[in-house]
Every structure is written in structure tokens, then in C-alpha cells.
Amino acid sequence: MKYLLDTNVLRELGKTSPHKNVAAWLKGVDDADLAMSALTVREVVKGVARLRKRKPETAAALDAAVTAIFDAFEGRILPIDRRVAALWGEALGESDKHVDDAGLAATARAHGLTLVTRNIKDFDGRGVTLLDPFKAPRRSRA
């Protein structure tokens, strides 16, 4: 694995018309190089659960799509293990701002992965390599 996908990138996988730059980037990457965090699973499931209260039919369709994506990532959904938790705790010792983002960055750091996200500024200074596939692909070191 080389890349940890943030939720905003993962959403593009389920769209019939994904962002053209994201689609091009994904086409050039081996699926085996992509991973997601258990935090992302929690975030997505929470969103579907909230939608279910307002729009049950839409939520049911989305739940089926999400389940298919999670199934495709079987074996590449990274847990919050001791190493991730320790790095996450260190980050939160510096600042409690963006708690989930700190956990995602800790996951990327623990596994030596590039974090793929649209929200580059939310991860600045977290010591992780970043890539924004919505723009022309480039890497930056925070």
C-alpha cells in the first residue's frame, strides 16, 4: 500500500461522474496501493445513518454503494492500533483541533503512506506526505 484515502477522495469512487482529475489519478494507481482508515469507515457510516433519518430511500441506495466499496477494500482498511493511537495522542497533545484529521494523519504516518485528500491545509504541519488528486498531481511535505 502506498496511499491512504481521505473521505473526500473515497466519495469520488462511488460517483457515476467522479471529478476528472481524481478519476485520472485513480486510473493510474494500482488498487492494491490504496487503503482507508477505520476512521473513514466510521465517518461514512455515520453519514449514512444520519441520512437514513431524513431520506431513507436515498440512504438505502448509498448504503449499498458504501458496502460495495468497503468490500472492495477488504484487507486494506487500516485499524487504530497501538502505533496509530500513540502518534494520534502525540498530535492531540500539541492541539485538539481537527481530532479526526489528526487520527488520519497518524494512520498515514504509522504505515508510511501518502495521505490523499482535497483538504491539504487541514493536514499541514502533521508530518505526513500529502497529495491532492483534485488538482494537478503533486506532493508536498508538511
Rounded to the nearest 5°, which phi and psi values hold at 55? -135, 80
* Cell numbers found for residue 24: 485520472
For cell 495521505, the residue is 115
CATH class of this structure's domain 3-135: alpha beta
For 22-68, what is each residue's pLDDT tens digit? 999 999 999 999 999 999 999 999 999 999 999 999 999 999 999 99
The whole-model pTM stands at 0.91
Residue-range domain boundaries for the chain = 3-135
Mean pLDDT of the chain, nearest integer:
93
Paired strand residues for 90: none
Burial (CB count <10 Å: 0-12, 13-18, 19+), residue 32: exposed
pLDDT of amino acid 69: 94
